Amino acid sequence: MSAPRNNFPKLHNASWPGVVGKGSPGAEPIIELDQMLALTAAAEVDGVKFDGVDVFLFAPHVDIDSTDDDLKRLADRVRKHNLVIGSVVAPVWPPTGGGSAMGSEAERDQFVEQVRKGCRIAARLRELGVRPYGIVRIDSACSPSDWVKDPEGNQKKIAHTFQRAADVAADFGERLAAEGEICWGGMHSWRRMVQLLEMTDRPGVVGFQADMAHTLLYTLGYNAPEDRILPENWNWSDAETLDRALATLTAALRPWTIDFHVAQNDATVKGSGSHDKTGKHCLPNDPNGKLSIAKHARHWLRDSYGNPLQKYQHICWDGCMFPNDVMMLPSTWNSILKEMIAVRDAHGWHA
User: Which CATH number does the domain housing residue 154 bear?
Assistant: 3.20.20.150
In a domain, 102, yes or no: yes
| Strand (E) or helix (H) holding 177 | strand 176-179
Q: What is the mean pLDDT of residues 124-142?
A: 98
Among 290, 286, 296, 283, residue whose Cα is nearest residue 346: 296
CA angle 237, 239, 241 (to 5 degrees): 110
Q: What is the mean pLDDT of residues 204-211?
A: 97
- Write down how long the chain is: 351
pLDDT tens-digit map of 290-317: 999 999 999 999 999 999 999 999 999 9
In a domain, 3, yes or no: no
Is the confidence at residue 277, as pLDDT, over 90?
no
Check residue 1 and give its pLDDT: 65
Q: What is the mean pLDDT of residues 36-50?
A: 98
What Å distances lie between residue 137 and 16, 40, 275, 307, 346, CA to CA?
13, 21, 23, 27, 26
Domain count along the chain = 1
- Which parts of the chain fold into alpha helices (H)? 33-42, 68-80, 105-127, 144-147, 151-171, 190-200, 212-220, 239-253, 293-301, 324-327, 330-347
Q: What are phi and psi of 32, to 5 degrees?
A: -65, 155
Is the confidence at residue 275, as pLDDT, over 50?
no
Among 211, 231, 163, 153, residue whose Cα is nearest residue 185: 153
Beta-carbon neighbour count of residue 98 at 10 Å?
25
Is the confidence at residue 96, as pLDDT, over 80?
yes
**pLDDT confidence tier of residue 271, bands split at 50, 70 and 90:** low
In a domain, 4, yes or no: no
**pLDDT confidence tier of residue 272, bands split at 50, 70 and 90:** low
What residue type is 83 in one-letter code? L
Kindly tell me the sign of the dihedral angle through the C-alpha atoms of 199, 204, 206, 211: positive
Is the confidence at residue 273, as pLDDT, over 90?
no
In a domain, 281, yes or no: yes
Beta-carbon neighbour count of residue 30 at 10 Å?
19
Q: Mean pLDDT of all residues in the chain?
A: 95
Q: Please, are residues 61 and 21 in contact by the beta-carbon 8 Å criterion? A: no
Beta-carbon neighbour count of residue 194 at 10 Å?
16
Q: What are phi and psi of 253, to 5 degrees?
A: -105, -20
Check residue 276 and give its pLDDT: 56
Buried b (16+ CB within 10 A) or exposed e, 218-229: bbbbbbbeebbb
Check residue 321 and give its pLDDT: 79
Q: What is the mean pLDDT of residues 122-144?
A: 98
In a domain, 268, yes or no: yes
In a domain, 2, yes or no: no
Among 343, 287, 20, residue whose Cα is nearest residue 179: 20
Check residue 274 and give its pLDDT: 41
Q: Domain residues for 257? A: 10-347
User: Based on C-alpha coordinates, what's the Rg of the chain?
Assistant: 19
Pairing of strands 257-262, 269-270: unpaired
Q: What is the mean pLDDT of residues 230-254?
A: 96
What residue type is 93 in one-letter code? W
258 vs 78: CA distance, rounded Å: 24
In a domain, 185, yes or no: yes
The predicted model scores a pTM of 0.97
Is the confidence at residue 199, as pLDDT, over 90?
yes
What Å distances lie between residue 166 and 119, 129, 175, 185, 192, CA to CA?
10, 24, 8, 19, 19
In a domain, 5, yes or no: no
